[in-house]
Amino acid sequence: MRITEVRVKLVKNRDDRLKAYCSMTLDDEFVVRDIKVIEGVDGYFVAMPSRKMSDHCAQCGAKNHLKARFCNGCGTSLPDSRMKEDLNGRNKYHADIAHPINVKCRQSIQQRIIAAFQAEVKKSVQPGYKPTPMDEEPDDDIPDMIM
């Protein structure tokens, strides 16, 4: 697997730990979007795309985020015991959408994305800087989906 392109969109609020959103293209064929660059205590790190975990209200069936204390549909109080735990016993609120399977792959991705982020930060202070566009027009070779 080769990382053939990394696009970086800097976050404007520089006081926040979230510094950028990135997309990564693999082998000029597959894109992973919504990769985050976050500033931690030991420097920058990459957070892979994830989604908030949810469950359904026992009373009305409405979907609710696991941190919700009351149902979005009927307002019923939701039990705290709905949380799932990770391998370290911490509550798990998010599930990965895409992620590397081994340390070597994670390090390779992180090094490449952090390098692209740092290059974009350097470009951003230059006169006439224009942010990298993150979304492209649809490819004409791909047929439209029929719904």
**Residue 143 pLDDT grade (very low, low, confident, very high; cuts 50, 70, 90):** very low
Q: What is the pLDDT of residues 17-58, one digit of tens each?
A: 999 999 999 999 999 999 999 999 999 999 999 888 888 888
Domain that holds residue 89: 52-93
Q: pTM value?
A: 0.72
Asked whether residue 145 is assigned to any structural domain, the reply reads no
Rounded to the nearest integer, the mean pLDDT of the chain is 86
**Residue 145 pLDDT grade (very low, low, confident, very high; cuts 50, 70, 90):** very low
CB 30 within 8 A of CB 20: no
- Beta-bridge partners for 7: 23
Least confident of 17-26, 113-122, 126-135: 126-135
DSSP, collapsed to helix, strand or coil, labels residue 129 as coil
Given a cut of 60, is residue 118 above it in pLDDT? Answer: yes
Asked whether residue 83 is assigned to any structural domain, the reply reads yes
Residues 36, 6: Cα–Cα separation, whole Å: 12
Residues 43, 57: one domain?
A: no
Residues 74, 108: one domain?
A: no
Q: Six-digit token pair at 37?
A: 């660059």
Least confident of 36-40, 65-69, 79-83, 140-144: 140-144
What is the pLDDT, as a whole number, of residue 67? 84
* CATH number of the domain to which 16 belongs: 3.30.1120.40
What is the pLDDT, as a whole number, of residue 87? 77
Residue in the block written with tokens 């510094």: 19
Centre a 10 Å sphere on the Cβ of residue 56 and count the other Cβ atoms it contains. 13
Residues 82, 7: Cα–Cα separation, whole Å: 37
Residues 43, 102: one domain?
A: yes
DSSP, collapsed to helix, strand or coil, labels residue 122 as helix
Residues 6, 57: Cα–Cα separation, whole Å: 40
Residues 59, 44: one domain?
A: no
Domain count, the chain: 2
Residues 115, 11: Cα–Cα separation, whole Å: 16
CB 131 within 8 A of CB 123: no
